[in-house]
Amino acid sequence: MTNTMPHGRTADAHFSFTKLLVDDLEKTAAFYASVCGLVEQQRVDATIEGRPIREITFLPTSPGGGSLTLLKFLGAPKPHTDELILGITTSDLEAFVDRVQAAGGRVTDPIRAMPEHRVRVAFVRDVEGHLIEVVQLD
């Protein structure tokens, strides 16, 4: 698929995946599997810039969609959790928020309607404190 950019240029790069830095790989993977229904695709042990890493990649949730990878730098201090906001869409916002709480996450901003954008939205945090914006389209 070709992506035409402003001024008639064609993009030769496309967004493909996000790698979320985590401290407890297994606990965080269990959270995203139970809350979002993500299915593990693969595990990798490798190095980045000479630093050992371990990661878990989940299958995309739609054809051609981006994937989520959880990455732990082995032997590194706990990473910060305020450097990005994950965006997730759902068809049942109440059920999603309930699953977050059942899996050990927490709600930071309860569900609210944003009729000007034709959505309802809530902000939650995963088991490590990463912020997630959850949106239900109206």
- 112 CB contacts (<8 Å, ≥6 apart)? 120, 121, 122
- 50 vs 2, higher pLDDT: 50
- Show the CA angle centred on residue 65, arms to residues 123 and 58, nearest 5°: 75
Tell me yes or no: is domain 16-137 CATH 2.60.120.200.
no
- Show me where the domains of the chain are located: 16-137
- Show the CA angle centred on residue 3, arms to residues 18 and 38, nearest 5°: 30
**What confidence tens digit (pLDDT) does each residue in 29-62 have?**
999 999 999 999 999 999 999 999 999 999 999 9
DSSP-assigned letter for residue 77: P
Q: In whole angstroms, what is the distance from residue 41 CA to residue 59 CA?
A: 5
Range list of β-strands (E), the chain:
3-4, 10-11, 17-21, 40-48, 51-58, 67-73, 85-89, 106-114, 119-125, 131-137
pLDDT higher than threshold 80 for residue 10: no
Question: What is the pairing mode between strands 10-11 and 3-4?
Answer: antiparallel
**What confidence tens digit (pLDDT) does each residue in 99-137 have?**
999 999 999 999 999 999 999 999 999 999 999 999 999
pTM of the model: 0.90
